[in-house]
Structure 1
Amino acid sequence: MPFDHDTESSLLAAVALVNSAEEPDTLTSVAALDAFYAEHAYTGSRTHDQAELDEVRALRAPLRTLLTSTRDDAVAIVNRMLSEAGAVPQLVRHDGEDWHLHATERTASFATRIAVETAMAMVDVIRADEMSRLDLCADETCGGVVLDLSRNRSRRFCSTACGNRNAVAAYRARQTGGGHQN
């Protein structure tokens, strides 16, 4: 695996958050945000209200821009995000996880923690010159972001649904494409 656990976790969460804006939108309620928080093992304070949901939903577009930008453009975005949040990286250990970086207080807003953790993960991506690990879904009808953590860099689709839809379409095209001669 190309990145440390905390970097991968932050990237996976950021991609999931960005892709939640694809149709159908899957982040429309506080309960959905609660599930996202639990699924991605976030820690820290929460307000569990509509304002928090709105703040996290508002992150989707800027994070999409970051995750799909060029390496040099990503540097400027990361630096701005860290500066705006007053990020101060610190090593922490909690919840059974070994030492890893946090750059905000546990009391910072959930949206701020997401933004800073994503920016910190992107520091690793940029420094390792691994921006090619991030791409758009190969399904022409989808705008999802793909995070390819595979060893051979073969991931092309943002979800199993997109991969399956394209595999079925390719199969049907081969079947109707005159591949059979009797």
Structure 2
Amino acid sequence: MDFVVALANTAPGASRSGDDELATVADLGEFLRGYTYSGRIDHDEAELAAVRETRTRLRAVWTLDRDAAVDAVNEMLREARALPYLTRHDGSDWHIHATEPDAPLAERIRVEAALALIDVIRMNETGRLRVCAADDCIGIFLDLSRNGSKRFCSVRCGNRVNMIAFRARRAETG
């Protein structure tokens, strides 16, 4: 889920820079360096476009209710004709894959995200899939706080909103 959040937050308006952080094939390559993705990676414009489309689809799941999220997850799995299997590779212990290593990168990203979202849905925790509460941010996050009260995608957004509120209160009393 950390990967899904990071990917989704490369979108314009969600990224730290405010720009599309997957604007080029090189940007995608740089982004992927921070994550372990085995299998086929084409490093071309078609792959970049497919990953950006996947990013849009995954961002959309964040705002769906539980039943609609089920439909979206099932659609992603159906499109890929996903067939889960256990595998070990690259020093990792047994884990689940549901696509072949030579499947397109965007498809593997969608299917792996769908597999992770299955657990979120089954545990009735879709309410922890959040969009930042800052008015000028569309960043997403997974609220892992004990009481489920996290409101902002980052400390930066939280501090900015709190400072704006503080200044507004001060102006009212001052």
Fold shared per TM-score above 0.5: yes
How far apart are residue 158 of structure 1 and its match? 1.6
**Partner residue in 2 for 1:69:** 64
Report what 1:141 is aligned to.
Answer: 136
Instruction: Indicate yes or no: 2:29 matched with 1:34.
Output: yes
CA shift, 1:30, in A, is: 1.4
- Counterpart of 1:161 in structure 2 is 156
How far did residue 118 of structure 1 move? Answer: 0.7
How far apart, CA to CA, are the structure 1 residues paired with 2:54 and 2:77?
A: 14
Distance in 2 of aligned mates of 1:29 and 1:159:
25
Residue 2 of structure 2 is aligned to residue 12 of structure 1? yes
Distance 1:117 1:104 in 2: 9
SS, match of residue 177 in structure 1: helix
Q: Give, as a single letter, the amino acid of the residue that structure 2 aligns with 1:136.
A: V
Once residues 141 and 40 of structure 1 are traced to their aligned partners in structure 2, the CA distance between those partners, rounded to angstroms, is 28
1:46 to 29, 41, 51: 41
**Deviating runs (4+, > 3 A) in structure 1?**
none
* Cα gap change, 1:56 to 1:46, in 2 (>3 Å): same
Question: Which of 126, 129, 133 lines up with 2:124 in the alignment?
Answer: 129
**Which of 80, 83, 93 is the equivalent residue of 2:75?**
80
| Aligned-residue offset at 1:155 | 2.0
Tell me the percent identity: 51
Gaps of 5+ in 2: 14-18
Instruction: Name whichever of 57-66 and 68-77 sits farther off.
Output: 57-66
**Residue of structure 1 in register with 2:91 after alignment:** 96
For the 8 Å contact 2:62–2:131, the answer to whether it is kept is: no
Judge which range, 159-168 or 42-51, deviates more: 159-168
Distance 1:129 1:21 in 2: 27
Q: Which moved more, 1:52-61 or 1:33-42?
A: 33-42
Corresponding pairs, count? 169
